[in-house]
Structure 1
Amino acid sequence: MQDSFDLRALRDIGLSHATVQAALAQHRPEGARLARVVEVQRDHLLVHDGDDTHAVVPSSALRTTLERERDTLVVGDWVWWRPAASDLDRGWALACLPARNRLTRRDPAGGRQGLVANIDIALVVMGLDHDFNLRRLDRFLVLAHSADARVVVVLTKADACADADAAIARVREHVGDARDDIVVLAVDARTPEAAQALAPWLVRGATLVTLGSSGAGKTTLANTLTGAGSTTHAVRSSDERGRHTTTVRTLRRTSGGACLIDTPGLRQLWLDVDAETLNGAFPEIGTLALQCRYRTCRHGQEPGCAVREQVPPARLVSFQKLLREANRESEDPFQRRRNVAAIKQRTRDNRARAVAGTRDEK
């Protein structure tokens, strides 16, 4: 493989041993080189080969494979690609290597949408303002757990918070001792101190992704970590206006050499997980459930429920809501449609009763 690309340079942009093994096991198209997807546009991809960025388009064979598997290429994927005959033309993405992990979500129609691939660390970003929401935080923690990624919760806008330490304590109390692997930091994302606080995770070759809602401060944090606006340390450069825009997911290099995938805010996050994965993200609930009086305890109003006695109410409510969603996703499409129709009918009936009650009062 060394005859066509620099393995050391590729490791600097996140090439792992597992990916190398996958590349060796996979048929390599003639004349193909290895590169990482750093941006996905409507009609082309940007890939980086460890030396430079190239614009490519998926070959017809790759498009057919992706359509058959109902999959898409996402930022962080590794692909075999072939340069174009002319520098003025786009190259070809010929095949995609199996991903170590993949973050996905469900769309409103129940379809699966890929977000990013091959990540090591998830920076779950939440602002210490109106964005502070522990139940929303649980969603992002489950998403990160589904990829077996390490988690750092970054509470931004610490400068505008009267007691950032109290906010950190609230998060720690909410996730509990069972998730002591989760690191929680409070920073002012605009300052160099934010980069210093995150330096232990920004090591060369590591891939991080920012996750959070719109307005949480993800782009501000990403710009601080990548030095945007001063010296450029990007795999994908900033745009012509001199600022990074998060209308698309983009992989860039941090000042310390790590790869950072900056993502647009996720207004709606419908999780693409099963009940087993969800239980793994709430390990204390599974452990305590063994102590419940009834094996079929649903942690509602049953007597002798160890979960209800020891898990904070907000966290239990969050778990139960996410579990209902996970169970819905396991239904077949016809059953899901029937359930949605039933919910809509109940909503219409409730509105009709409310209107009728108002008329009776008059």
Structure 2
Amino acid sequence: MTALKRLGWSDFFSDQLTSDEDELAPRRIASVHRSRVEAIDAGGPAALELPANANTADFAVGDWILADPISGMLVRRLERKTLFQRRAGNDTTPQLVAANVDTLFIVTSCNAEFNLSRLERYLILAEQAGSNPVIVLTKADTTEDADVFRVQAQALQPGLPVILLNGRSVEARELLAPWCGKGQTCALVGSSGVGKSTLVNSLVGSQSDTQKTGTIREYDSQGRHTTTARSLHALPGGGWVIDTPGIRTLYVSDVADGIDVFFSDIAELASQCRFRDCSHVHEPGCAVQAAVASGELAGDRLDRWRTLVTENRDRTPVVSGPHGNKIYRRKRH
């Protein structure tokens, strides 16, 4: 395996290079800050200068870029294989979280922070991003009912990997090793205080590259927000891990395809309804309501689907203006 491939380089990126770009240096974004972007290449940290009109918000940790090998000046960013992004609050511009991620570790803990509805949102965003999701249940050593959390999480999606662990244990790295091989990139997402930074420390295993960790408030299981910037870290097995700041409120938008895939059972039933525009609430001949009545479909699952569809519809900006000139407005109902 070449040095670039160990960084996550693949044919997907090399096929994007043009004949006049042979002399440019491929580099990977290692961290994104408000006023600067840091990169690495096969030899380690690499210089990267942004053009005067560049915006750091346009880059995600994990991005591949081409730079002038002498000056370090950015020439262009390569197309992404996967992209995990979200909208915060009422922002119309999505916040880029991590790019070119093979596996998305959705981290939650075996305590009051565990929330099936929130996990569904992460799974939908993972589907939309194009990354393979793995649910990681931390703090399994703090409860005798850890297996109950695992069973609930596994029921969210057929074949969904769910890993129980203690983020501080030496076994944590072994349990996640199948997704952290050479050239593989994983990212950790989840709420503040669920143990993401602790888990990164266990995976990285280097005291010189560890993340700050915070404590949990015992009365509500809420943690302190200890990671303030997204960053890429090398793993002993040859893979890479991206740590991200905690997300307290996770909204969905621009994820209609992800919702359809995750709730494929409801989408299939909806195709059998008598009316094409069936709301699945009161119409006669509704196959979805019939499935709920027969016990084939859980009523609370339908409720969560309806909530997500409505939220996605209301929060997805639409392009307006006479020439598609990127003036955004929100849909109103």
Q: Kindly report which structure 2 residues correspond to 1:225-240, keeping only aligned pairs within 5 A, or say none.
A: 225-229=203-207, 237-238=209-210
Mark the runs of 5 or more structure 1 residues left unpaired by the alignment: 1-6, 86-90, 343-362
Q: Which stretch of structure 1 is more off in the superposition, 75-84 or 52-61? A: 52-61
1:228 Cα deviation (Å)?
A: 3.4
Displacement, 1:337? Answer: 5.4
Aligned residues: 309
Counterpart mapping for 1:19-168 below 5 A: 19-22=13-16, 24-25=17-18, 27-28=20-21, 31-60=23-52, 63=54, 72-83=58-69, 91-107=72-88, 108-168=90-150
Bigger CA radius of gyration:
1
- CA 1:57–1:283 in structure 2 vs 1: closer, same or farther (change >3 Å)? same
Please state whether the residue corresponding to 1:284 is helix, strand or coil.
helix
**CA RMSD of superposed structures (Å):** 2.7
CA distance in 1, matches of 2:176, 2:287: 37
Question: Which residue identity is paired with 2:250?
Answer: L
Unaligned runs of 5+ in 2: 215-225, 321-326
Q: Which amino acid aligns with 1:143?
A: L
Q: CA deviation at 1:93?
A: 1.9
Please state if 1:248 is matched with 2:229: yes
Give the fraction of aligned pairs with identical amino acids, expressed as a percent.
Answer: 33
Q: 3-state SS of the aligned residue for 1:271? A: coil
- Contact conserved, 2:125 with 2:255, CA < 8 A, in 1? no
- 1:325 equivalent among 311, 321, 325: 311
Contact 2:313 2:331 in 1 (8 A): no
Cα pair 1:124 1:152 within 8 Å, conserved: yes
Could you report, residue by residue, the CA deviation over 1:135-170 in whole angstroms, capped at 9, with x for unpaired residues?
Answer: 111111111001221111011111112211111111
Return the alpha-carbon distance in structure 2 between the equivalents of residues 182 and 169 of structure 1: 11
Cα separation, 1, equivalents of 2:35 and 2:254: 30
Matched residue, 1:223: 201
Letter in 1 for 2:309: L
Query: Alignment partner of 1:58: what SS?
Result: coil
Answer yes or no: is the 8 Å Cα contact 2:25–2:67 preserved in 1. Answer: yes
More helix by share: 1
- Normalised to the residue count of structure 1, the TM-score between the two structures is 0.77
Shift of 1:291: 3.6
- What letter is aligned with 2:281? G
The question of whether the paired residues in 2 share the 8 Å contact of 1:274 and 1:327 is answered with no
CA 1:163 to 1:304, structure 2 compared with 1: closer, same or farther past 3 Å?
farther
* Change in 2 beyond 3 A, CA 1:79/1:314: same
What whole-Å deviation, never above 9, does each CA across 1:200-229 have from its counterpart, x for those lacking one?
Answer: 111111111111111111111111111132
Indicate how the Cα distance of structure 1 residues 26 and 167 shifts in structure 2: closer, same or farther if over 3 A, else same.
Answer: farther
Task: Work out whether residues 6 and 239 of structure 2, in 8 Å CA contact, stay in contact via their aligned partners in 1.
Answer: yes
Structure 1 Cα separation of the partners of residues 213 and 113 of structure 2? 27
Of stretches 267-276 and 186-195 in structure 1, the one that deviates more from structure 2 is: 267-276
| Deviation by residue 1:99-136 (Cα, 9 ceiling, x = unmatched) | 11211212313222211111111100011112100111
